[in-house]
């Protein structure tokens, strides 16, 4: 039978160009082996009416935007996480696996599907680049006061750049999100939820967290590469899957 792999991509109302690049490259709906791959963009509200008007047109044209009525900001990303878990439970129960990622990265659906086929018993686990014993920063963009979180290290969490979760994990995560107050760092917050839900992690280096070297063929093993320019995403996608410069092919049945 056919399964569904949903790419759930956090985006910002103003990031029109990023979404356009994703739709042209890795976020095209397609069938890979026995997985139908589809995407949605997860977005909060911008105070800029122009951004919202453009987003409205985009949503009408592509039908791939999930919009929530809270202001899009770094500190509201945990709220987006909570809203997403509830949305999944109500509207998208048929997705077998959910890839959670960002719009400023290169995602490799053929490799994700191959990974799911090669990983025996993938269903009870959350797969990603697991950050272990991460030290709590007290200052800067990711700074958290000792009043809010007194411990020196966080529980394990998957790097927010991209991770895979099975459908079966959603109800327990959603329930945990009702009990655990939102936290300013969404990937750490997800770690809290996973801990409360009793879920285990599977670490894999192919969930690359930061950009890779220029060598194109290094990308063929990667499931996700974070923090890439739009041009670079286009070049890599074209090189791998249009020009086939690294002997890459779509996975077939």
The yes-or-no verdict on residue 45 having pLDDT over 70 is yes
Length of the chain: 253
The yes-or-no verdict on residue 53 having pLDDT over 50 is yes
Q: pLDDT digit string (tens) for 69-98?
A: 999 998 899 999 999 999 998 988 899 999
- The 3-state secondary structure of 123-173 reads CCEEEEEEECCCECCCCCCCCCCCCCCCCCECCCEEEEEEEEEEHHHHHHH
Q: pLDDT digit string (tens) for 149-193?
A: 999 999 999 997 899 999 999 999 999 999 999 999 999 999 999
The yes-or-no verdict on residue 248 having pLDDT over 90 is no
Domains of the chain: 3-242 (3.90.550.50)
Q: Where are the alpha helices (DSSP H) in 92-224?
A: 109-118, 170-179, 186-196
Give the confidence band of 211 by pLDDT, cuts at 50, 70, 90.
low
Residue linked to tokens 């890459």: 248
Share the mean pLDDT of the chain.
93
At residue 99, the pLDDT reads 98
The yes-or-no verdict on residue 249 having pLDDT over 80 is no
């Amino acid at each position: 039978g056919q399964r569904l792999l949903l790419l759930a991509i956090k985006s910002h109302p103003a990031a029109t160009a990023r979404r356009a690049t994703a739709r042209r490259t890795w976020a095209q709906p397609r069938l890979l082996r026995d997985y139908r791959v589809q995407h949605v963009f997860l977005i909060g509200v911008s105070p800029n009416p122009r951004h919202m008007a453009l987003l409205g047109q985009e949503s009408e044209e592509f039908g791939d935007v999930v919009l929530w009525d809270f202001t899009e900001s770094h500190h509201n990303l945990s709220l987006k996480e909570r809203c997403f878990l509830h949305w999944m439970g109500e509207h998208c129960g048929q997705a077998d696996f959910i890839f959670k990622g960002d719009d400023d990265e290169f995602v490799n659906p053929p490799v994700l599907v191959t990974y799911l086929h090669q990983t025996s018993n993938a269903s009870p686990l959350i797969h990603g680049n697991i950050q272990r014993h991460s030290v709590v920063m007290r200052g800067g963009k990711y700074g958290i006061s000792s009043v809010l979180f007194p411990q020196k290290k966080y529980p394990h969490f998957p790097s927010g750049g991209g991770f895979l979760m099975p459908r079966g994990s959603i109800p327990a995560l959603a329930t945990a999100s009702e009990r655990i107050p939102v936290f300013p760092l969404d990937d750490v917050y997800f770690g809290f939820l996973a801990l409360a839900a009793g879920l285990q992690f599977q670490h894999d280096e192919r969930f690359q967290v930061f950009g890779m070297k220029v060598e194109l063929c290094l990308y063929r093993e990667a499931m996700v590469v974070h923090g890439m320019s739009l041009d670079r995403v286009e070049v890599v996608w074209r090189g791998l899957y249009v020009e086939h410069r690294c002997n890459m092919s779509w996975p077939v049945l």
